[in-house]
A and B are shown apart, each in its own frame.
Chain A
């Protein structure tokens, strides 16, 4: 599928040094009233504890400027501080700060990934071998949580399509299932009682969704190695779907003929479906999805309308043509 976002000349691509500073510059420029103190306190810097630098090709298709054009909204990337201190990763606890507080307990090396199911090439792979064949790309994507907050995040990763093709999925491979590591001794949320979710966490995609050029297997953030709290060493990002589809710390990939179970749907089927496409017209049973709050924007300027397919309709809407999106939520 061709991406129709216009190519941006390399001179216009925002280099990391600029986007780290851009938010604070913008905050100072926009801040007024109460917002002023918040904005000033949010100096955007890459802290010392950020992981090793990765080498990657910045992706012109999803540069900051392309995003601004796509949505007409402020799409300045969030800061490292925001992205690494505020997220859901129930394996480490249910508070937004729990992942940052507890994720250091997880050992991400050595790490193995099992590839199973309807494919010609299957087996167990060391993470290093698993990732070796691919060049990394940077993708700056909008991130929309099902809880109606959002961010803009510069990921570094590998398009899932090119990763999966190496395993030669058979014609029976209609879906791809993913599984998170299960290590209660290193992930306090997995040993809490009663269990908040049925572990291990599972997710899945239809094969055409998995092969969509936007779908990304992520290994980095802000050009650095992915921190544990954001799903190290390997996580999924499907930018037109709610954040919970982006399964973290993946240890298993399985090609299947039937639709695989996904954890939130198992836990609360009337609230979370398999598809979980961002859709302002289909409310969560307990809250509206028509708008969202952009984390890090100045106070009183955070709320903005939610876009169909999170603003990626042009790239993904074809896959759902003719589907009743109220039924397949």
Chain B
């Protein structure tokens, strides 16, 4: 989802317009915004994104006072799955936040967050195959084919692979506009992820429903934004009623 190159968002509203810029923002630690992202924010987000992994690993090995409880397999599987879904949501949050908070450079963090989402989804799948099924390939095949919630989750995992593969600068250049289209798949992936979460729950679906509501907000924001940004030709057609 590259940022449209068009004029500034109409949605920003005249009252929220900042006063005429008197002085450029003070450089933080003598770094301009490019360098701040490259040298400070990106590494910080990278380390923070590894924190759930460190927590899961510590729980498994009983380090730092963490414990995976009586059933470590289920604990790791569920917590890792939820972490994966959280990263998909954080990635989807980048665009609304940078527009609404006026932080255009946030875009520089999005690829890394998306790749962490892929990392945690792949880890979740690996835990399922290795620790839960214990490499029982027959059951794996049967689960994917016959268990709808696993079919949905597995499909989401498969759809994430092309997005991870095409996340490099080179692929972005090579695919051009098609890259944007391809990466809209993440909306479907997020919906499948929530569906998978909802469907595996035995009875208590309160948490999946909260995720569904947040996803509706994230996608709804995009729908509204796209509507406001629709091409002038379309707008004229509506005005004249044709």
A residues sitting closer than 8 Å to B (CB atoms) are 34, 37-38, 41, 81-82, 85-86, 90, 94, 96-97, 147, 149, 196-197, 267-268, 283, 286-288, 290-291, 293, 295-296, 299-303
Contacts and interface: CB of A to CB of B under 8 A. Distances in A.
Nearest to B136: A303
B73 A147 contact: no
Nearest 3 A/B pairs, CB to CB? A86-B70, A94-B204, A303-B134
Contacts of B61: 34, 37
B19 to A, nearest CB: 48
B170 interface: no
A85 B199 CA distance: 25
B104 interface: no
B202 interface: yes
B71 interface: yes
A146 to B, nearest CB: 8
Given A94-B203, A295-B71, A302-B134, 20 more contacts: A34-B61, A37-B60, A41-B62, A86-B70, A86-B71, A90-B203, A96-B71, A96-B74, A147-B202, A196-B203, A283-B146, A286-B149, A288-B139, A288-B147, A291-B136, A293-B71, A299-B72, A299-B73, A299-B131, A300-B130
Name B's interface SS.
helix
B123 to A, nearest CB: 15
Nearest to A41: B62
A85 B202 contact: no
Nearest to A36: B61
Contacts of B132: 293, 303
Contacts of B203: 90, 94, 196-197, 267-268
Contacts of A290: 139
Contact of A303 (B62, B133, B147): B133
B231 to A, nearest CB: 45
A197 B204 CA distance: 9
A295 B72 CA distance: 9
Interface residues of B, number: 27
A296 B70 contact: yes
B162 interface: no
26 contacts: A34-B61, A38-B60, A38-B62, A82-B70, A86-B69, A96-B71, A96-B74, A196-B203, A267-B203, A268-B203, A283-B146, A286-B147, A286-B149, A288-B147, A291-B136, A293-B71, A293-B73, A295-B71, A299-B72, A300-B130, A300-B131, A300-B134, A301-B134, A302-B73, A303-B132, A303-B134
A290 B136 CA distance: 12
B223 interface: no
A286 B239 CA distance: 51
Given A300-B131, A300-B134, A37 B62 contact: yes
Given A82-B70, A86-B69, A287 B62 contact: no
A299 B202 CA distance: 24
A113 B139 CA distance: 45
Nearest to B63: A37
B139 A149 contact: no
A34 B60 contact: yes
Interface string B113-137: 0000000000000000011111010
Interface string B132-176: 111010010011001111000000000000000000000000000
Q: Which of B131, B133, B142 counts the most chain A CB atoms within 10 A?
A: B131
A154 B166 CA distance: 55
Contacts of A34: 60-61
Given A288-B147, A290-B139, A302-B134, A38 B200 contact: no
A288 B143 contact: yes
A115 B125 CA distance: 50
Contacts of A149: 71, 74
B139 A85 contact: no
Contacts of A299: 72-73, 131
